[in-house]
Structures are given as C-alpha cells and as structure tokens.
Chain A
Amino acid sequence: MDSALPIADRGGPAQPLLLAKDLRKHFPVGGGLLGRGRKVVRAVDDLTISVAKGETLGVVGESGCGKSTVARLLIRLLRPDRGTLVLDGDPVDEPHGITVNELRRQVQMVFQDSYASLNPRLTIGETLAFAPKAHGLPAAEARARTRDLLAQVGLDPESYAERYPHELSGGQRQRVNIARALALRPRLVILDEAVSALDKSVEAQVLNMLVDLKSELGLTYVFISHDLNVVQYLSDRVLVMYLGKIVELGPVEAIYGNPLHPYTRALLSARPSMDPRKRTHEAPIQGDPPNPIDPPSGCRFRTRCPFAEDVCAAGEPLLTETPAQSVACHMRRPGSGHSKAAAA
C-alpha cells in the first residue's frame, strides 16, 4: 500500500514544497438571475506565496482579509479563478503534473471549529480510519494506523477510539482533528485558526504538541490565525494580508521587530499590552476593515492609513524587496511619488 509510506522528498531542500502563483479567487454576490448588477468579493487577488520545506509560514490578518480562502485554495477545496499550484516541482491539475487527489495526499488541513469538523455520527476511530481506507488501506491496517494516530496526539487509543465527538472536550476534539490530518502522512499541514477556539491552558497544550509533531514527522506548516502572539510563537516566516492582498512578508524577527507597512504596525500595536502600567491610550488606527466588495482603489489600506497621499489612490503598490522583508507600500518604493519615499 503506497499510502502507508511517507512520501520521499524529491526536489531537494531548496525547492519550495508548495508554490502558489498568482492565485485569484473572486466570489460573486447578489445580483439578478442573469447576473446583472452582480458584485464580487475579491477574497484573494493575485497572491504568490511559496512554502519552504520544513518551515512554518504564519498568515495573519483580520476578518475578510482572505486568509481562510487562501487555506482552501492551497488544498483545492476551492478552485482558483486563475493561478497555479506547484507541489515540490509538480504542477497540480495540469498536463504532466499531479492530480488534485495526489495534492490532497500530501497536503492536509485542520479547521477552526473542532465540533463541526467531526462527523457526529461516527466514532473517533471511524473518523480517523476514513481517509486511509478511502485510499485503499485494508481495514486492519487502518485500525492500527488509527491507534498510532491517537497515541501520537496524546489520546489513549483504548478509550478514545470508540467515543463520539460530543463526549470529548474542545481540546480533545482538536487533537482528533490534528490526528485526522496526519492520517495520510502528509508533508504539509494547513492549520486554519486551529487553536483559536480553545481555552488558553488547552491552547498551550496543543501548541506544544504541534511543535513536537513537526519535528518528529518532519512536517511543514501553514499556520493561519488572527492571533499575532501565537503566530509569532510558532512561525518562521510571516505573511500579513489585508483585503485579499499581501501587505508584508518576511522572517518573523523582521515582521515583529521592524514592521515596515503601516498596517502591520497598527496590527502589532493593537495588541493588548499585558502590562497595566503601559496601557494603550490611543487606538493605532480608527474604523473597521472595509468591505471586501469593491475594495478601495490603489492601495487597499489607504482609507485607514495615516500616511495616505494621492499616489496611494492612483496606483496599487507592488511588493518591494527590502533587505529583510518584502512590503507593498508606496512609502517603501523608491521613486513611487510618495513624499516619504526615497528618490528613484
């Protein structure tokens, strides 16, 4: 059974494990029967990301920034309007490439809602055995795999395999969801707000477990969250999204130590201080994130940006390389015409 074995590395460490190029996903909303007056939510717009082997890529942003859509695009639960996925050198769903099913063997996902992501009518053991069986593993081996998986996520196989999801606590259910994602021995696991619904003391247990599993199984993570502290704790590189666009991308030290984009700065300083003597006295930015239907022209952040100028409305800022990170801001692009930008 091929699915019993982990998949060997093919392209070497320098080749990205997953490369997504120019991904775009727009959702039509409203409009009449014939599509007149129809609007689109520009959930993800021309997004290019690469996930290196063995790293944890953190994705942060507020609601409506498209981070969950990215997760679903990367595992092809959603079909992109355009753009390509390349898994370890193999294009996905293209001639000479690999199939979507093969992608899903190697890339798995953990969802936020631990209850909704488990079938209430199946025991934990049946849920965990489903994917291996669907991939042709004989029942006895699938059962053995189930026991291994439960042990791996710190649940006693004897007592948990026969239980139903409603008999478990939130933390235990999320462990089961992680075990299910590992059932096919994937190389990349996408964690979409996987610890956000958990209590803090349980969150810490699950985070420790994620760190352990990564080193034991040689996994790569894409960790999507709105919680900047957790992303900082877990990630090697961080991607900041705003209204379907990348605003900043770089190593975790650079993003948290020296954020260049005004939005990243605002996000970071909006975090509660944890020190009653250093309370926040002014909100870093005002207002709510705009509706992703009809986002602002040019730079999408300009409506909330304290440094917005005419040039920001005129043209979309391109992702510009700086020594430590990449940032999409006119202020950081020499010759862009912004008064704070360096001359060309």
Chain B
Amino acid sequence: MAIQSPSIDLGGTISVLLGRSGVSRGYWQSVGRRLRRDPVTLICAAILILLVAAALLAPWLGLADPYKTSMLRRLNPIGSPNNLLGTDELGRDMLARLIYGGRLSLFMGVTPVACALLIGGFLGIAAGFLGGRVNMAIMRTMDVFYAFPSVLLAISLSGAMGAGAENTLLALSLVFIPPICRVSESVTTQVRGFDFVDAAKASGASTLAIVRVHVLGNVLGPILVYATSLISVAIILAAGLSFLGLGVKPPEPEWGLMLNTLRQAIYVNPVLAALPGVMIFITSICFNLMSDGLRAAMDVKA
C-alpha cells in the first residue's frame, strides 16, 4: 500500500473495500478444478460457446443471405445441395437463419437476466441485509409481481407496450426481477445469520465494508447460479413472445418467430419445421445443466 498516506484515516477502510483482489483465489481455483472434472458441464459449456461464437461470427462464416427469399426454392428438404439444412417457407436458407437467429435469441435470453440480476440482486441483498421495514417494503412489492404467472406477465407487458425487440427486453427484465430478488434476499438473510457477520459487526466495521467483504463473496455465487438457470427460461419466453407475434417482427431471424412462420409447413416437412425448436431446446438445456454443474462445483463442504 505504497500510495496510501497514513494520515488519511479512511485509507484502511478503502483498502478493505478495494484491496481484495486475492480474496477468492483459493475458492475459485477449487471450483474450477471441480468443474474440469465434470464432463456434462464441460460439454454444455462447449456447445454454448460454439453457438455464441457462430452467432457472433455469422457474417464471416460464408453463409447464405438469411433475408434472401426465393419462390422457387421454398421448403427444400434437409440436405439439399445449396441449402444444407433446407429452406423455409419463403425459400430462405435455414442454416443461415438458424445461426443468425441465435444472435437475437441468445441476446434476448441473456440481456433481460443480466438487467434483472443487477436490479433484483441489489434490491434482494439490500432487503436481506437491512431486514426490518426495508425488507418488508421491497419484498411485499415483489410479491405483487409474483401474483402473476411469469408467462402471463410477460405477455401482458409486451402486449401493452407493443411488439418489438426493445419492449420484449424490457418486459422480460421486469419479469425476472422478482424471482432474482427473492433468491438474493433469502441467501443474504441466511448469510447475515452467520456468526461471522455478527463478529464483523462486533468489530465495529462499517456496514459497507461488512457487505463488501463478508456478504457479497458468499451470496454472489448462489445468485449467479440461479440466474444462469433463468437464461433458458428467458430464451423460451422470448421465443414464445415472438411466436405469438408480440416479440421480434418478421423478417428478422429469431428462433421463436421462425417456429411460428414454419408452422404451416409442419405437414409438408415436419423435421424442417421443428429445427428452430431443436435449437431452443439445446440452448436452454445446456444453460440448465451448466447451472446445475456450477451449483455442484460451488458447494464447498469442509
């Protein structure tokens, strides 16, 4: 701590707040070691990385134009010469649309959960740590949102705000704040009950330092695990909204919307019509299994 002037009394507190880069080293090392020995989680992570990479790098992969329609090549079967995965009802290349569709679908899955994690996590940790009236106010408000099933809430919010990707994002973020808030509150309440938090209070440390050092390190893990499991729900919900016409608008490639528009083709080429659904299924199950794997790896017992 060479920069620190001893005359500034705050220095110690600041170093408590900031100088904790090495805190979780040993812990995260052991989590990483356990993850490396878990083949299911590794495979799921690999699939997800592949999907994300493909979606991000789509323009450079030499794919067909996902927007280019062709009345001649409608509903080509899987394995056609120029269209590896066939074409959709407007003759657009399915492979290209599925990979480009991953961009929106994955984005719609991750972003609302990330937003909800920030807001819900903050509210939940505050409610859990402060307890009393603050807890009462925050948690009862959350309960009001909880009264609606998440699908209905998302549909009514998107319906009220109108279709479009931004509104879907907003609606989904709002939907995920209450569950994340509730989980954050319950793990924080649990950690607050441990003697080490009392011991830190008894040492006269400030609330901020206690939360930063003793609470966050112990609650972030479980909250992140829970949020990971929500990503699959978000992907399915976003796809569902698009399917209902409340989300992304055509002709954007998005898995839910594709499922909707391919609906008529189900008697002509059922396998083709199911492809977007298969993508949704693979992605969401990978997120779920990875969340399970993370939870197992982070569960440290002496």
Contacts and interface: CB of A to CB of B under 8 A. Distances in A.
Pairing of A with B? yes
B196 A133 contact: no
Given A116-B194, A119-B214, A131-B204, A136 B12 contact: yes
A165 B214 CA distance: 14
Contacts of A1: 6
A144 interface: no
A38 interface: no
A115 B302 contact: yes
Interface string B1-38: 10010100111110110011001101100000000000
Contacts of B194: 116-117
Contact of A130 (B1, B4, B205, B218): B205
A115 B6 CA distance: 34
B218 A120 contact: yes
B80 to A, nearest CB: 55
B300 interface: yes
B interface secondary structure, majority: helix
Contact of B203 (A104, A126, A140): A104
Interface residues of B, number: 36
Contact of B202 (A109, A132, A135): A109
Contacts of A120: 27, 218, 300
Interface residues of A, number: 44
A77 B300 contact: no
A142 to B, nearest CB: 8
B203 A119 contact: no
A101 interface: yes
B222 to A, nearest CB: 12
A100 B213 CA distance: 21
Nearest to A180: B199
Name the residue in B9, B203, B209 with the highest tally of chain A Cβ atoms < 10 Å from its Cβ: B203
Interface string A177-220: 10011011000000000000000000000000000000000000
A39 interface: no
B263 interface: no
B302 A166 contact: yes
A116 B11 CA distance: 29
A10 B30 CA distance: 50
B6 A138 contact: yes
A59 interface: no
Nearest to B217: A121
Contacts of B156: none
Contacts of B302: 115, 165-166
Contacts of B301: 166
Contacts of B47: none
Nearest to B199: A117
A119 B196 contact: yes
Nearest to A127: B196
A326 B62 CA distance: 93
Contact of A111 (B12, B199, B214): B199
6 contacts: A104-B201, A104-B203, A111-B199, A112-B195, A131-B200, A134-B204
